[in-house]
Amino acid sequence: MPDGEFAGSPIDVFDGVGSAVPAELADHLRTVRLVDHHVHGTFDKPVDRAGFEASINEGSTDPIPDFMTQFDSPLGLSIRRWCAPVLGLPAHAGADEYWKRRSELSPDELSELMLPLAGVERWVVDTGFQGDLITTPERLTQLSGRPSSSILRLERLAEELLEDGTRPEDFPDAFRAALADAAASPDTVGTKTIAAYRTSFDIDWSRPADAQVVEHARELAGRDTLRLDSPVLIAFGVHEAAAHGLPIQVHVGFGDRDLDLHRTDPMLLLPLLRTITPVPVLLLHCYPFHRKAGYLAQAFDHVNFDVGLGINYLGVRSTGLVAEALETAPFAKQLYSSDAFGPPELHLLGSVLWRRAMGLVLGEWVRAGDCTEADAIRIVDMIGVHNANRVYAL
């Protein structure tokens, strides 16, 4: 694949809007190789249409109702617009036509076709969810031809220790030892908490004593199903990750319906953010709280954020999201991500829609005389590449 990831491909991210984006900025956005700082693997087994449509609906795992299709959504329209030509179909091919053609290809063939077109130089992969259904970081590297790094999910680490027979009395030290091993591994570049799903953010974020941790580990180990939802163990894991100097990703806002969205406002993290400096904190996704995340990134030197998940799900309206994400925080505090999971269309679209949105937003700034084209290119490089390299020491 040439350095220009879209060169020779059926995709031109500025098709239809080329005159709105200055030429040098457009060329740079077409060719810059990104660091996707929060992503998951692709499906490694075939899915039927119902499974595919469920995988492009973030909020629910219920079957799609008979009266609708997920292709009639902002994300569905974007798939038909940008991914259909990759499959040899005209842009905006119908949903049935798209699915028929897609079904002719294996999961590996789809990934090998779409992943390189994302123009990603490195994947930073969260492996903590449904690992048996999706590719490992190593397999993602094979399919895309680009290296991968890993993110360690803190809740899953705690669950695995107890599942493997760690005694509650030994749990605090065993957890610290596992984090020390992760910190020493060149493949693991950070950690993640899904407190948004397990406890929400309005909990006591103070660092618990080991005696409290043991008590809560004992209660968790005594359950038939190990699902860590203890605020004490959540806070323990985050503080221990910070003590080991590992960057901490935090799922914020938009996600599956089993979280209480109003309790994932990042302002509820203020007690934590005030106590774990200078360890980098990465607020992930953030929609619809992205303006608050931008404020926190402006107010705290160690706080960074992205709007990755929202870009795919807002589709054409992601241009507005990207514009709002650029309002408050220094440009050195925002990162690119796709948060793609499952269909490789999501890995590709995250890149396509971000490049297009950045071109349109920054192009308007350049045309209005609010920044130079060189400024705009530097902003692209910070958010798309350099900030992730710095935060994760890639």
Q: Which residues contact 216 (CB under 8 A, 6 or more apart)?
A: 230, 232, 233
Provide mean pLDDT across the span 378-386. 98
- Residue 28 predicted with pLDDT over 70: yes
Mean pLDDT for 314-340 is 97
Give me the pLDDT at residue 255, please: 87
Q: What pLDDT, on the 0 to 100 scale, is given for residue 299?
A: 97
| Residue 316, pLDDT score | 93
3-state secondary structure of 332: helix
pLDDT of 2 > 60? The answer is no
Q: What is the structure's pLDDT at 249?
A: 98
Collapse the DSSP code of 282 into the 3-class scheme (helix H, G, I; strand E, B; otherwise coil) and give the result.
strand
Residue type, 16: G
In the chain, list all ranges with CATH 3.20.20.140: 18-45+118-392
Neighbours of 153 (CB within 10 A): 21
Within the chain, where are the H helices?
23-31, 49-55, 74-78, 95-102, 107-114, 137-144, 154-163, 171-184, 195-198, 210-221, 231-243, 270-273, 290-299, 308-314, 318-325, 344-367, 373-381, 387-391
Q: How is residue 136 written in tokens?
A: 């490992």
- Does residue 361 contact residue 331 with C-beta atoms inside 8 Å? no
Q: pLDDT category, 61, cuts 50, 70, 90?
A: low
Q: What is the reported pLDDT for 1? A: 36
| C-alpha 274 chain-centroid distance | 24
Tell me the torsion sign for CA atoms 112, 117, 119, 123.
negative
* Spatial distance between the Cα atoms of 273 and 143, rounded to a whole number of angstroms: 37
CA atoms within 13 A on the CB side of 76: 18
The average pLDDT across 104-114 equals: 97
The pLDDT-based confidence of 257 (bands split at 50, 70, 90) is confident
68 contacts 338 by C-beta, under 8 angstroms: no
pLDDT value at position 4? 41
What pLDDT, on a 0 to 100 scale, did the predictor assign at position 131?
66
Query: If you average pLDDT over every residue of the chain, what do you get?
Result: 94
Q: What does the pLDDT look like over 225-235, one tens digit per residue? A: 999 999 999 99
Which residues 6+ apart lie within 8 Å of 386 measured at CB? none
Instruction: Tell me how crowded residue 198 is: count the other CB atoms within 10 A of its CB.
Output: 18
Contacts of 305 (CB under 8 A, 6+ apart): 252, 282, 283, 284, 286, 290, 293, 294, 296, 297, 325, 329, 333, 334, 335
Contacts of 126 (CB under 8 A, 6+ apart): 38, 39, 40, 151, 153, 192, 249
Q: Choose among 379, 392, 251, 386: nearest CA to 309.
A: 251
pLDDT at 3: 43
Q: Is the pLDDT of residue 303 over 80?
A: yes
Instruction: Tell me the average pLDDT across 125-132.
Output: 80
* Sign, CA torsion 236/239/242/247: positive
CB 259 within 8 A of CB 250: no
Task: Note every long-range contact of 7-12, with CB atoms under 8 Å and residues 24 or more positions apart, other chains counting.
Answer: 7/31, 9/86, 9/117, 10/85, 10/86, 10/88, 11/82, 11/85, 11/86, 11/117, 11/352
pLDDT of residue 130: 67
Per the listing, tokens 């650029």 go with 326
Residue range 144-166, pLDDT digits in tens: 999 999 999 999 999 999 999 99
The pLDDT tens digits of the residues spanning 180-205 come to 999 999 999 999 999 999 999 999 99
pLDDT reading at 71 higher than 80: yes
Highest mean pLDDT among 61-65, 68-72, 289-293: 289-293
Assign 277 a pLDDT band (cuts: 50, 70, 90): confident
18-45+118-392 in CATH: which number?
3.20.20.140
